[in-house]
Amino acid sequence: MAVENKEIVDSKGTACIGCRLRRKRCDKKHPICTGCSDLQIPRELCIYRKMGLASKDSKATLAKEVKKNRELKDDKERTMALYNYNKRTSGSPQDYFYLKDTRREGAYKMFQLNPEKNPLLCTVMTAPQTSAYLGSISVAAITEAEPQMKLLLQQIHRVIMKEKIIYEKRVAEEAKYPEKEIVVATFNEHCRAFLVGIKDIDGDQSILELIGDIEQNFPSQQTCEYALQLFFRQNSHRWTMFPYVDEASFREKFDQIVKFDQQGRVSFHIALPQQSERIVFIAWVLAILALASFCFGQSRNDVEKMDFVLFAKYSSALTRVDIVGKRIRLGEQAIGFEFIAVNFALLLLEKYTASAGFMDSLDKICEATLSIRLLITMAMSINLHKDPDRFYPNATAGEKRSLKTLWYTLVMYETFESMDIGFIPKFEPACFRRDDSCYNGLIECLHTLHSVLFNYNMIDDMGKVDDLIEFLEGNLIKRLKSVLKDEFKPMAVDIEVLQNYDLDDISIEHLEEYHMIMQRLGMRYLILTTILAFYHICYKRLEQTGEGQSQKCRRFRMLGWKYALTIETLFGEMWVGLKRAGNHKNYFSFFPVACILVMAPILRFAQRRVTLFATSRFLGMLNVDDQLIVNYVLYGNDQQDDATSKLLEASGEVNKMFKIGDFDDLDVDDDYELLLKKFGELNSVRFLVVSLCKVMSDTLACMHSAKTTFNFMKLSKIFHVLLLRLCSFLLNYTVQDSDNSGPEDYEQNGVVRVNKGEGTPTIDTGSPHAMNTEEKKFDFKSFFTNGHDVTVDEDEIFELFNMTSKTKYTW
């Protein structure tokens, strides 16, 4: 009897669900749940064992069930990741990619880099002739699969880089360092000398001199406060494209460290070396000022002139104090939100607003990717990917939101940057946790995108082409389209709201909603661009296997053009709304320049993918000297592009272009006959050229307005310029042979013919009279600015930073 009572006591709370609902205490009669007893399930595995009494509050019950549902989704992702990993990595490994295993502290798991097993994962680490280039998603792989386009890009890049070197040499001869940059330049020289082992120096005095120089060049109290107010008006806890900053905690620390006297001069209250960690906060303040002053420079206003390049260099130098400091050192505790946020802000300014690095050597192209992956490593080292309630219990609610949004921002950037270079994402989907307090549709989209690209890179690509296409379209593309339907309104609705937004209301809630519209557009660009990349891979695979004339291949080709035009049309409509905001009296409140600055990497990513697809298809139709195309792209007259756009409007051809609402129908993609009926114009080369030329010309025209200019985006648009000039070339010097062309002849039989009409020069013979470029010299500045007004100093625009922090972390 004693034993029976013991079982009764131990079984408390394990009654069946029916008894719980009737609220009867049947434990004495049935010490074990009747269902578990009948099924012979151990008591410790009873599914109702941990279930508490149902709450009478329906909202609390719903929140509990929603949280449980998200936990189940995370468990499913973790299980699928383990399943895919075990399934794909069987066999004898030959080379490995190491990934931190978050389930075991300090442990690493290995992904194979064996080309025979998983060539898609080996893109940037194998020779060009490997099978990795047959279907990889990276830019290098796509250009390698398009020899003519690769040659064109190399020729253009060679001219641009040559002129760029001449320009930089001239600037260096005129003034190696401006007077105001001598101190920070000397500090950076000390850092470099120490790193290469030239000399071992005590850099504490250099650090003190650097801080003193920052105080001397710090903006006035009024200007600093104005910049901070602007920053926090753009700051939102709903950000996924820029980390949210908790203003209360920031202001508290700012008032402790940064002091202004009656004349408005600044002094930093830091007891060195005891309070060395405060240096990171100063670096964060300077990074915010650099971002704000950059945006000021793109606007016509009466704000005190601030040098964003100098502030950025100051901020970068302060994060490198550990290199030369003997007693003044940041220490491990300095690696936190502020340190990572500083490096992210500098990366945004350094990599996405300068003119170089987009068509440079592989190491330069990889630089942004490796930098963001380094920040991911830092973030994981301080457990940003885990529950902040557990690891940061003393943080305020605002500080916890800051940590979460920083993690989501880094994940988003790392996802598409890794895609561009062909790397598998830095961490597996199981590390991407859903958080109730910082969750919205954008986070779900990001989770899906990250998971899709992770699964793509785990493909065993040695199977049949049909199996690969079935997986891409039936699984990955389907998931991306599903999240577009579930989490987004139709594109036409978002664009209409943006273009007609009430700009007279400058309340915080209204500004936040404006930022959400911009973020939705940014996330939509990422998903649409990934879909375009997958369709391009399907098309290239079929073409390479001799099925270029099949109906399936023609469908993928049409879908590629459909999504390319979708992205470009969305670009054009977005810039119409941005120009309206840039002309409005409240432009400083909405500050579209700030929105575009954080979206710049995404816009560059999307534009590059569209250009790679469209250019490769167009070049396949031309049988002319590539050098003539290069000459046109580099030396073509900008006014000719404008004239072409006006000519198209006069001819009425632009009236037949698709509207943004036409692209909202995603279900039509699966039915070739329906696709042909609705988007049959995509088989017309003339239609494609006209559409792209018109949209891109209008986009460039919207990049400057009465109060704001977006010229810094042109520094990132070399691919935009390339595609626009190529379309202009096709319109001015070629015609479509309509007598011999049809859907089945498209691109295969040379649909585009040379225009030999009266008064038109022939270019198939390479006649020098077709385009006289002998006396022309490439204008490095006007190529990127299109001759439009540039509000910031031109030397600042083309100055390249060297601000990479040296830490113990590796990519």
What percentage of the chain reaches a pLDDT higher than 90? 15
pLDDT 10s digits, 140-180: 777 777 777 777 777 777 777 777 677 666 655 555 556 67
Long-range contacts of 503-510 (CB under 8 A, 24+ apart): 503/580, 503/581, 503/584, 503/586, 503/590, 504/586, 506/586, 506/589, 506/590, 508/233
Domain boundaries in the chain? 91-138, 603-785
What is the residue-averaged pLDDT of the chain?
A: 73
pLDDT recorded at residue 675? 92
> Residue type for 129, please?
Q
Q: How is 714-755 classified by DSSP, letter by letter?
A: GGG-HHHHHHHHHHHHHHHHEEE-TTS--TTTTTTS--EEE-
| Average pLDDT score over residue span 541-569 | 89
CB 249 within 8 A of CB 396: yes
pLDDT at 403 over 70: yes
Nearest to 645 by CA among 575, 700, 694: 694
Identify the pLDDT of residue 563.
96
Mention every residue, 6+ apart, whose C-beta is less than 8 A from residue 530: 419, 449, 452, 453, 480
Class of residue 38 by CB neighbours under 10 A (exposed 0-12, middle 13-18, buried 19+): exposed
SS (H, E, C) 382-442: CCCCCCHHHHCCCCCHHHHHHHHHHHHHHHHHHHHHHHHHCCCCCCCHHHCCCCHHHCCHH
pLDDT at 190: 78
Report pLDDT for 357. 41
Most confident among 359-363, 612-616, 751-755 (mean pLDDT): 612-616
Helix (H), strand (E) at residue 132: none
- In the predicted model, is pLDDT for residue 125 greater than 50? no
**HEC-encoded secondary structure of 251-278:** HHHHHHHEEECCCCCEEECCCCCCCCCH
Q: How far apart are CA 763 and CA 756, in angstroms?
A: 9
Query: Span 274-296, mean pLDDT?
Result: 89
- Residue 515, both tokens: 């930022």
For residues 478 and 466, which has the higher predicted lDDT (pLDDT)? 478
Pure H helices in 591-671 = 592-619, 626-635, 638-651
- Backbone dihedral region for residue 628 (phi beyond 0: left; psi -120 to 50: alpha; all else: beta): alpha
Angstrom distance (rounded) from CA 71 to CA 47: 16
> What pLDDT, on the 0 to 100 scale, is given for residue 780?
64
Under a CB-based contact definition with an 8 Å cutoff, are residues 315 and 290 in contact? Answer: yes
Report the C-alpha gap between 642 and 518 in whole angstroms: 28
Band of residue 132 on the pLDDT scale cut at 50, 70, 90: very low
What crossing angle do the helices spanning 204-217 and 278-297 adopt, rounded to 10°? 40
pLDDT number for residue 370: 81
Is the Cβ–Cβ distance between 687 and 681 less than 8 Å?
A: yes
Nearest to 805 by CA among 241, 225, 274, 377: 377
* pLDDT of the residue at 740: 43
- Per-residue pLDDT for 521 more than 90? yes
Longest dimension (CA), the chain: 112
Q: Which residue has the higher pLDDT, 184 or 354?
A: 184
* Pairwise CA distance, residues 186 & 256, whole Å: 29
CA distance 118 to 97: 12
Mean pLDDT calculated for residue range 328-346: 84
SS3 559: helix
Nearest CA to 425 out of 447, 403, 401 is that of 447
CA angle 712, 718, 721 (to 5 degrees): 100
Determine the Cα–Cα distance for residues 112 and 121; give it in Å rounded to an integer: 8
HSE value, Cβ hemisphere, 13 Å, CA-based, for 55 = 9
More confident residue, 219 or 741: 219
Q: Are 519 and 239 in contact (CB under 8 A)?
A: yes
Quick one: 456 exposed, middle or buried, by C-beta within 10 A (0-12, 13-18, 19+)?
A: buried
Query: Whole-angstrom Cα distance, residue 626 to residue 389?
Result: 60
Q: Smallest Cα–Cα separation from 270: which of 322, 194, 328?
A: 328
Q: How far apart are CA 260 and CA 187, in angstroms?
A: 26
**Please, what is the end-to-end C-alpha distance for the chain in angstroms?**
65
What does the pLDDT read at residue 567? 95
Of the candidates 430, 449, 455, 531, the residue with the CA atom closest to the CA atom of residue 118: 455
* Chain-centre distance for alpha carbon 751: 36
Measured CA to CA, the distance from residue 404 to residue 547 in angstroms comes to: 47
pTM for the full predicted model: 0.78
CA-to-CA distance for 129 and 123, rounded, in angstroms?
A: 11
The sign of the CA dihedral 450, 453, 457, 458 is positive
CB 173 within 8 A of CB 196: no
**Region label for 13, one of left (φ > 0), alpha (ψ between -120 and 50) or beta (otherwise):** left
Q: Are 401 and 244 in contact (CB under 8 A)?
A: yes
**What DSSP string describes 48-102?**
TTT--PPPS-HHHHHHHHHHHHHHHHHHHHHHHHHHHHHHHT-S--SSEEEEEET
Q: How far apart are CA 172 and CA 168, in angstroms?
A: 6
* Residues of the chain above pLDDT 70, percent: 64
The predicted model gives 66-88 an average pLDDT of 60
**pLDDT tens, position by position, 523-545:** 999 999 999 999 998 888 888 77
Structure tokens, 254: 């700012």
Q: Assess whether pLDDT exceeds 50 at residue 749.
A: no
Tell me what the mean pLDDT of segment 58-63 comes to. Answer: 68
